Amino acid sequence: MKKSYFSSITLALVLAFLYVPILLVVAYGFVPNGVSMSYFDANGAFTGFTGKWYAQIFTGHYSVKSLMQSFWLSLTIAGLATLVSCVLGTTSALALHRWKDRLQSIHYALVYTPLIMPDILIGISLLMLFVAANVECGFWTILIAHVTFCVSYVAMTVLARLQDFDDRIVEAAYDLGAGPWYTFFHVELPILLPGIIAGGLLAFTLSIDDVVITSFVNGAGTNTFPTYVSSMTKHSRNLPSVFALSTLMLVFTCILAGLSKFISRKQPQKTKGK
Amino acid sequence: MKENPLRSKRAEAAVTLPSFVWLALFFAVPAFIVLAFTFHGHTANGGVGEWSLSTWRELVDPDYPAIVWNTLRISFEVTLWCIILALPCAYAIARMNKRWRAIVAGSIMLPFWTSFVVRVFAWKTMLHPDGWLQTCYFSWLKVSDWLFDWLPGFMQRFLVWAGFASNAPLDAASSTILDSEAAVVLVSVYSFLPFAIMPIYTAAEKFDFSLLEAARDLGAKGFYAFRKIFVPGIRQGIVSAVLMVFIPAIGSYVIPQMLGGTNCVLIGNKIFMRAMQNRNIPHASALATLMAVSVLVPLGMAMYWKKRQNARTSRRLERETARMIVGRGGEA
């Protein structure tokens, strides 16, 4: 069978296109001159690499104070939003899976529509709600907004997991005298856990990456990492610190993903089947 | 079975209520508030005024129609580029052996583990007026200008009228790629391309490649077979890909904000400007309503077209779109 060179070459070029900015993110984290963002000085001579931006992050230098503040705020909000949306998303998926009536078709529309709506519409409509209710924007409004768009993703992920869930297990638990709470914590939750974790990870990534919705509901002075970066100008002093911090995050997520892959590969051998 | 508490109405209410109330309160109610605000005037101090139709009347007057058209045109351009690039990529990945397929498909999504804003910022640094991309851009402008002169007059006039081309003479000082529409299109394609590749690849993976061999045996070659056999065979995936790119492109706000400057203001930027800077809440609401309509129309069209074709494939499209949306990591 003849190979198509045209499509292979396109694929190679597209991969290069996708990776060049990532390589630059890594490269800009070691640049000595943080204003020109160039490895070459005015005479065109190479200036070498520096680790000072990483040092600033690790020592908590005053110039990266607001950057680190926004970063920790992002982590806090993402963590809390993940927790709340995992609870809401799981109950939502359970309800959608178990009952098929009118209430659930409205429920399904409520869960599904946020997935197809552009972020900016969710942002503006939440802002309107807070304006109408006269609520001061800040930490709590950001958290509410993040939970709102994360719930649907968790619900859809758990729902996908429920597709190959054997409902007779639950009925068997009931026949054997288990109550609804006992059945949930000892039968359903262990089976659904991988789906909930996958949904939670997705929610966490989306929440920590969100800039559009946050920039509508963050109020004055409350910045998450993405809104902080997007408000920076090109001639900001600590630009390389942002790239250094992003590189650290990239390395950290890669390790985490590698670990989860490693664990999930290990598991089937241990438990045999499923 | 009858007294199974899991089937009771009370249990259903208890399990449904948390997410139902949350989403109704923070998703459905706000949508109605937005709609209601469009039928209000605005007050000078940034509040919402009396009930009136003045907001809708004012929408026709200033530069809003142009902005809506620009947004649709740019989203169309971005979608077209994404599909053109995604088709050969998906084909190439689907032809690989299983091991490589997983590796390459994974590495297409990998860049999305870096913060979206940081990646756009890296682009911003890359598109600096002294950079090599600026040189490429200016050469491209010169070539397209030369090509444009070859077109017949009516086509030139149409392209200028639709905003795809401009009559202004080229000059190096004002043709910077940063703060231009080209930068917005380029980085939008960069950001949305994986969401075009993945659904097409999912469809291509299920495609029976022996059909192409059969076509070749019957005399259809290369591009002809690709166009007549492969593309119709993965139509489902292409429709999902178009939706996955077009909808976020319509709602795009960060990319034009950071790279488009004042030369590329889309609906998203205008909404933000009206809501946060001018404090004209009714105008922002009306623009948001317009955006919702421009998202729902293509979506409804795709659904209707599928439904007419086959009710079962429609559900698969919906499911697949949901799955792809769930699988994404970046901006919507």
List, for residues A159-173, the tens digit of each pLDDT value: 988 887 888 888 888
Helix (H) or strand (E) holding B41: strand B40-42
Residues A87 and A165 in one domain: yes
Which one of A227, A248, A265 terminates a domain?
Answer: A227
* Sequence-separated (6 or more) residues with CB below 8 Å from residue A238: A34, A53, A56, A63, A64, A67
**Which residues lie across from A38 on neighbouring strands?**
A33
Please classify residue B168 by burial: count the beta carbons closer than 10 Å to its beta carbon, then call 0-12 exposed, 13-18 middle and 19+ buried: exposed
Mutate which: B37, B42, B113, vs A, most A CBs within 10 A: B113
Report in angstroms the alpha-carbon separations of B68 from A185, A204, B170, B256: 51, 33, 26, 14
Report in angstroms the alpha-carbon separations of A152 from B19, B196, B250: 9, 22, 21
Residues A180 and A269 in one domain: no
Evaluated on CA atoms B176, B179, B185, B188, the torsion sign reads positive
pLDDT at A3: 60
In angstroms, rounded to a whole number, what is the distance separating the alpha carbons of residues A116 and B247? 8
List, for residues A73-105, the tens digit of each pLDDT value: 999 999 999 999 999 999 999 999 888 888 899
Please report whether residue A18 resides in a domain. Answer: no
Name the closest residue on chain A to residue B248, using Cα atoms.
Answer: A118
The two three-digit tokens of residue B129, written as one number: 């007026």
- Min CA distance, A165 vs chain B (Å)? 16
- Scanning A43-138, the segments in alpha helix (DSSP H) are 52-59, 65-98, 102-116, 119-132
Residues A95 and A220 in one domain: yes
Residue A71: CA count within 13 A, CB half-sphere: 17
Contact assignment for B111 to A22 by CB distance below 8 Å? yes
The 3-state DSSP class for residue A10 equals helix
Residues 217-256 of A with CB under 8 A from B: 225-226, 229-230, 232, 234, 239, 242-243, 246, 249-250, 253-254
pLDDT at B32: 92
Q: In this complex, is the C-beta atom of A44 within 8 Å of any C-beta atom belonging to chain B? A: no
- Min CA distance, A186 vs chain B (Å)? 15
Residue A237 domain boundaries = 23-59+232-274
B86 Cα distance to chain centroid: 14
Mutate which: A22, A120, A134, A249, vs B, most B CBs within 10 A: A120
pLDDT along chain B (332 residues), means of 10: 61 88 93 89 73 78 82 94 93 88 85 86 83 77 81 82 72 72 92 92 86 81 80 87 91 89 86 86 88 86 74 60 56 40
* Pairing of β B40-42 and β B48-51: antiparallel
In angstroms, rounded to a whole number, what is the distance separating the alpha carbons of residues B145 and B177? 16
**Chain B residues touching A215 at Cβ < 8 A:** 272, 276
Residues A98 and A217 in one domain: yes
Contact assignment for A148 to B23 by CB distance below 8 Å? yes
Report in angstroms the alpha-carbon separations of B181 from B62, B70, B247, B308: 21, 10, 18, 38
CB atoms within 10 A of CB B23: 24
Interface pTM, i.e. ipTM: 0.85
The 3-state DSSP class for residue A99 equals coil
* Distance separating the N- and C-terminal Cα atoms of chain B: 44
Unique residue bearing structure tokens 């990534």 = A205
Please report whether residue A14 resides in a domain. Answer: no
Is B237 within 8 Å of B86 (Cβ atoms)?
no
The 3-state DSSP class for residue B48 equals strand
Closest C-alpha among A126, A141, A133, A220 to residue B48? A133
CATH of domain B63-115+179-326: 1.10.3720.10
Name the closest residue on chain A to residue B251, using Cα atoms.
Answer: A118
Residues A91 and A176 in one domain: yes
Report in angstroms the alpha-carbon separations of B281 from A42, A259, B35, B264, B290: 48, 47, 11, 22, 14
pLDDT at B330: 40
In angstroms, rounded to a whole number, what is the distance separating the alpha carbons of residues B69 and B72? 5
Please report whether residue A116 resides in a domain. Answer: yes
In angstroms, rounded to a whole number, what is the distance separating the alpha carbons of residues A173 and A169? 6
Please report whether residue A177 resides in a domain. Answer: yes
pLDDT over 50 (residue A270): no
Contact assignment for A148 to B299 by CB distance below 8 Å? no
Helix (H) or strand (E) holding B42: strand B40-42
Q: What is the mean pLDDT of residues A113-140?
A: 90
The two three-digit tokens of residue B255, written as one number: 């990319």
Assign A64 a pLDDT band (cuts: 50, 70, 90).
confident
Residues A209 and A91 in one domain: yes
Assign A142 a pLDDT band (cuts: 50, 70, 90).
very high
Contact assignment for B257 to A19 by CB distance below 8 Å? no
Is A139 within 8 Å of B51 (Cβ atoms)?
no
pLDDT at A78: 94
Residues A88 and A212 in one domain: yes
Unique residue bearing structure tokens 């079962």 = B312
Please report whether residue A103 resides in a domain. Answer: yes
Unique residue bearing structure tokens 């600026």 = B134
CATH classification at residue A132: 1.10.3720.10
Q: In this complex, is the C-beta atom of A142 within 8 Å of any C-beta atom belonging to chain B? A: no
Q: Which of B29, B111, B254 sits opposite A212 (nearest CB)?
A: B254
Residues A129 and A244 in one domain: no
The two three-digit tokens of residue B4, written as one number: 């199974």
Residues A156 and A101 in one domain: yes
Which one of A191, A210, A227 terminates a domain?
Answer: A227
In angstroms, rounded to a whole number, what is the distance separating the alpha carbons of residues B242 and B230? 17
Helix (H) or strand (E) holding B51: strand B48-51
Q: Quote the number of domains for chain A.
A: 2
The 3-state DSSP class for residue B49 equals strand
Assign A232 a pLDDT band (cuts: 50, 70, 90).
confident
Interface A-B: count of C-beta contacts within 8 A: 262
DSSP string, B278-309: S--HHHHHHHHHHHHHHHHHHHHHHHHHHHHH
DSSP 8-class letter at B207? S
In angstroms, rounded to a whole number, what is the distance separating the alpha carbons of residues A208 and A226? 8
Mutate which: B3, B6, B91, B108, vs A, most A CBs within 10 A: B6
Please report whether residue A182 resides in a domain. Answer: yes
Radius of gyration of chain A (CA): 23
Please report whether residue A167 resides in a domain. Answer: yes
- Enumerate the domain spans of chain B: 63-115+179-326, 128-177
In angstroms, rounded to a whole number, what is the distance separating the alpha carbons of residues A133 and A184? 37
* Sequence-separated (6 or more) residues with CB below 8 Å from residue B277: none
Is A192 within 8 Å of A161 (Cβ atoms)?
yes
**Which residues lie across from B40 on neighbouring strands?**
B51
Single-letter residue type at A44: G
Please report whether residue A17 resides in a domain. Answer: no
Q: In this complex, is the C-beta atom of A258 within 8 Å of any C-beta atom belonging to chain B? A: no
**Chain B residues touching A230 at Cβ < 8 A:** 117, 120-121, 254, 257-258
Contact assignment for A132 to B33 by CB distance below 8 Å? yes
Residues A109 and A144 in one domain: yes
Residues A122 and A163 in one domain: yes
What percent of chain A is predicted at pLDDT more than 70?
94
Mutate which: A1, A2, A11, A23, vs B, most B CBs within 10 A: A11
Q: Which of A22, A99, A127 sits opposite B114 (nearest CB)?
A: A22
